[in-house]
Amino acid sequence: MEGFIGLLLLSGVEKSWDVPIRELYLDEKAITTYKATMSVNRFEDTRKMVRFDDRHTHESRSADDKLAGVHYVWELFLDKCRNRMIPTDLLTADEQLVPFRGRCSFTQYMPSKPAKYGIKIFWLCEATSAYASDRIVCTGRKPYEPIQKNVGLNVVKDLAKSIEESSKNITVDNFFTSVQLAEEMLQKQITVVGTIKQNKPEIPNEMKLSASRAIHSSLFAFRGDTTMVSYVPKMKKSVVLIGTMHHDRNIDETHAKKKPDIMKFYNSTKGGVDQMDQKICYYTCKRQTRRWPFALWVNMMDVAAMNSEILFSAQHLTYHSGSSDKRHLFLRDLAEEMVRPLMELRTQIPNLPKKIVDALQRCGVQKNVILPNQLPVSGKRCNYCPYNKHKKSDVTCIKCKTNICKEHSGVLCASCLSHVED
């Protein structure tokens, strides 16, 4: 499986996720790591047969859990993400759409996303490094459940369970933001900053769009520890933000647009999830599939590779420090480390085809190693075959020491062999 995952990562590094796998194996100009790691049939069989669920108990569990097909590995992955790194004080909650058009009961249509159709996932990421610490898959409501209200509020509350009473801040967009969310999160010692839709009833009429307001003007409102600001970026448009982190009327007077501090803070911390989605889309290891568990699992691999790159860079500050393509180099090194053990294992297989031997040599795995099919042929003609067959063999009879081919040789057990030698 490590070799299989390594080849998936390698296809993402080479941006060949949409290229048929047989073309990557048969193309002479393609990278030789595929041939040196495993055969194309083994790769395709692994991709087809990989599963994350027990099919004998799947039907009983899927009635209450729509993610039963990937639930076990899902929880293992989330546990690793939460425990491997303590997130900073600035977090971002937003949505991601995993592209998928196969059969799935919770596929959604989002026209604003490039993929349009897919599986929606709510993420909690760091605002600066985009490290993904927690997520929730939007599976919709069950048939016997009532229609959900305040979905954004419930999602942020579920994502913030692991960081309660930590004095951290979560930046959200207008899908999640509400005065109720800000007040409830503040009770758990978590601050919230985000834009809010102007059709919310809690927004005063004075803070909504008005033709009498000047461009780049700001209007503040305070209630307890909650701050609301209405900013006019251009004619006939206003942006309303709400937060529990800022409690003043500070405005950047040095800038021509005179943005308030709460808006500048929102702009600098709102892109955590978008940055994560951009990273994994640029070097994705996904393959074309009609099975939604496999699509979610590949998305886990992409996020895991991104998280590992963030952790590794934080611990090794000199790793490609002057390179502008550090992520590409890290993913390539990671893929090579995962496939190398399988390459070294293949060197122990006798009589490998010459093209695999050449691929291993080009990958540097077979250096100073002589495989059985590379041994010099020093056999003699078989003593029993006709001359015109021209058969040579290195095998000799244990008794008379004459050369014999496979056709004229047999197999003896250890007991009979000992009698013959005696």
3-56: per-residue pLDDT in tens? 999 999 999 998 888 888 888 887 766 678 888 888 889 999 999 998 888 888
- Say what percent of the chain tops pLDDT 70: 92
d(CA 343, CA 19): 23
- Read off the pLDDT of residues 191-213 as tens digits, 9 standing for 90 and up: 999 999 988 888 888 888 877 88
Strands (DSSP E) found in 178-325: 191-195, 218-223, 226-234, 237-243
Give the residue, 28 or 185, on which the prediction is more confident.
185
Contacts of 179 (CB under 8 A, 6+ apart): 200, 202, 226, 242
Burial 280-309, CB ≥16 within 10 A → b, else e: beebbbbbeeebbbbbbbbbbbbbbbbbeb
Span 62-91, average pLDDT: 88
What's the pLDDT score for residue 418?
62
Nearest Cα to 361, choosing from 379, 381, 346? 346
Global confidence as pTM: 0.79
pLDDT of residue 372: 42
pLDDT score of 297 more than 90: yes
State the virtual CA torsion across 273, 335, 53, 42 in degrees, nearest 10. Answer: 140
Of residues 338 and 372, more confidence is placed in 338
The answer to whether residue 279 scores a pLDDT higher than 60 is yes
Going by C-alpha positions, the residue among 13, 94, 1 that lies closest to residue 335 is 13
Q: Is the pLDDT of residue 336 over 60?
A: yes
pLDDT at 95 over 90: yes
Q: What pLDDT is attached to residue 387?
A: 72
Averaged pLDDT, 342-371: 77
pLDDT of residue 412: 67
SS3 95: strand
Whole-number Cα distances in Å, 186 to 149, 189, 228: 21, 5, 15
Q: Determine the average pLDDT of the residues in 109-120.
A: 91
pLDDT for the residue 54:
82
User: Among 272, 278, 268, which residue's Cα sits nearest to residue 133?
Assistant: 272
Is residue 349 helix, strand or coil? Answer: coil
pLDDT at 66 over 50: yes
* pLDDT (0 to 100) of residue 371: 42
Please give the average per-residue pLDDT across 57-64, as a whole number. 80
Mean pLDDT estimate for the chain? 86
Amino acid letter, residue 276: M
In eight-state DSSP terms, residue 163 is: G
- 375: pLDDT confidence band, cut at 50, 70 and 90? very low
Alpha carbon 284 to chain centroid distance? 7
- Which is more confident, 27 or 295? 295
What pLDDT is attached to residue 155? Answer: 92
Q: Quick one: pLDDT at residue 243?
A: 92
Residue 330, phi then psi, degrees to nearest 5: -65, -45
The confidence score (pLDDT) of residue 373 equals: 41
Tell me what pLDDT residue 294 has: 93
Cβ-Cβ contacts under 8 Å for 238 (sequence gap 6 or more):
198, 207, 208, 209, 210, 213, 230, 231, 232
Give the mean model confidence (pLDDT) for residues 101-129.
91
Tokens of 162: 């692991």
**pLDDT tier, 369 (very low <50, low <70, confident <90, very high otherwise):** very low
> What average pLDDT does this structure show over 314-328?
87
Measure the CA–CA gap between 414 and 76, rounded to whole angstroms. 49
Please name the residues in contact with 383: beta carbons below 8 A apart, sequence gap of 6 or more: 402, 403, 404, 408
Q: What pLDDT, on the 0 to 100 scale, is given for residue 145?
A: 74
